[in-house]
Amino acid sequence: MSLRTRKLTIACLQINAHWGTDVLSSIRHADALLAPLLQAPTAPCSSTNRVRSDKKPDILVLPELAFTGYGFPSRNAIAPYLEPTGRGISTQWAQRTAQRIGCHVIVGYPERPDGSSVAKDEGPIYNSAVVVGPSGTVLYNYRKHFLYEADEKWGASSGQGGFGSLDLKIKNSAKLVSENENEMRIRVVLGLCMDLNPEKFEAPFTKFEFGNFAVTNKADVIIMPMAWLAFGQAESNNAKDAADVQDIEDEPDWRTVHYWARRLTPVVSQYAQGEQRKTSNTVFVASNRCGIEDGKITYAGSSCVLQFCNDASVQLIATLPKKSEGVLITDVNI
């Protein structure tokens, strides 16, 4: 079968947002990092740690709990930051930004379903991500399916609908195969951080729950907002110890990037199945946070775009370093 190629422009914002700080301050900081995209139609990103592009993105991805920070110690601690489903401060920012840039925006936030209580022990709350279209319309709300121990500390409930899947319409005829087409549809599979791991770290590694879901749902693009810990952090629970494990230079955390790719083994395997193989590339987008939170938690950064190719190879298209904030923007073929 011949390879069907369509061009897509992806952007990731890697940011260091701490819990317990003013969400509006985090939002202003995000706007500052994204300023070239928001202000000039063809300006490259201001960060020195990014792939240059002269195009606006079709999709902009932010990390898990992007503006609130992640390591909340209790439900009481996160309660002031909980947002109503698809209409809180994070969603409002996504709507404004999507309209200003003219792209889809995906951002993680702590969700309190409409009408539920924010009291310490009442009502379900979720670790969620909202998808907003270029017009500012809320298209999808995803609730994290596999919970990490940090989610359980602040009382998050598991999203019972499984992993996420939706179709996006990308309107940009210059990127399409045929001049007669005015939009392309892409299948997006959506997860949050721990969703990529074996369930509860108890399932067999080779069960590849999320990777198999991506294959079954014929993903064109796999998108994961993340608050992924630095390699060694989970064992040490000490930011200094975790920093000692890593290289001094601010380069990507390659062990983390390789692990992400390994967890998507089924996506590679699908290209070796004879006439049944997928005839287009699959792209993986990880938007992770960086920095140290509360003096205890070190995040891996290393936001990246990987391409799983029709020839069963895996290509690193672009990545950010592990310590620095910045904007990654790059073109991919799907």
**Model pLDDT for residues 144-162, shown as the tens digit of each residue:** 999 999 999 999 999 999 9
Higher-pLDDT residue of 273 and 203 is 203
Give the C-alpha separation, 239 to 242, whole Å.
5
In a domain, 44, yes or no: no
Number of domains in the chain: 1
Listed in sequence order, the DSSP H helices in the chain are: 23-33, 35-39, 75-78, 89-101, 149-153, 209-216, 233-236, 239-245, 254-262, 265-269
Mean pLDDT of 33-45: 66
Position 187 confidence tier, pLDDT thresholds 50, 70, 90: very high
Output the CA–CA distances (angstroms, integers) from residue 139 to 83, 142, 192, 251, 259, in the order listed.
Answer: 17, 10, 17, 35, 30
Within-domain flag for 126 = yes
Tokens 């923007």 belong to residue: 329
Query: Both tokens of residue 28?
Result: 């202003």
Is residue 321 scored above 90 in pLDDT?
A: yes
Q: Is residue 241 assigned to a domain? A: no
The 10s digit of each residue's pLDDT in 258-295 is 999 999 999 988 876 654 556 678 999 999 999 999 88
**Range of 221's domain?**
8-37+51-233+247-333
List residues with catalytic annotation. Answer: 64, 144, 193
Instruction: Check: CB of residue 213 under 8 Å from CB of residue 199.
Output: no
In this structure, is residue 93 part of a structural domain? yes
Answer whether residue 188 shows pLDDT above 70. Answer: yes
Please indicate whether residue 117 or residue 235 has the higher confidence score (pLDDT): 117
How far is the CA of 125 from the CAs of 69, 121, 146, 148, 159, in angstroms?
16, 10, 14, 14, 10
Q: Over 50: is that where the pLDDT of 246 sits?
A: no
Residue 177 pLDDT: 47
Give 52's pLDDT tier (boundaries 50, 70, 90): very low
* Residue 240, in any domain of the structure: no
CB 136 within 8 A of CB 86: no
Residue 239 resides in a domain: no
Q: Provide the pLDDT confidence category of residue 248 given band limits of 50, 70 and 90.
A: low
Least Cα distance to 145 among 216, 224, 207 occurs for 224
The answer to whether residue 238 is domain-embedded is no
Q: Residue 19 in contact with residue 69, Cβ under 8 Å?
A: yes
Q: Which two tokens stand for residue 312?
A: 């069963």
Residue 175: both structure tokens together: 């990127």
Strands 104-112, 83-84: pairing is parallel
Count of residues in the chain: 334
Residue 174 confidence (pLDDT) above 60: no
Nearest to 120 by CA among 81, 150, 79, 92: 79
Which CATH number characterizes residue 148's domain? 3.60.110.10
For residue 317, is pLDDT > 70? yes
pLDDT given at position 287: 98
Highest mean pLDDT among 26-40, 240-254, 311-325: 311-325
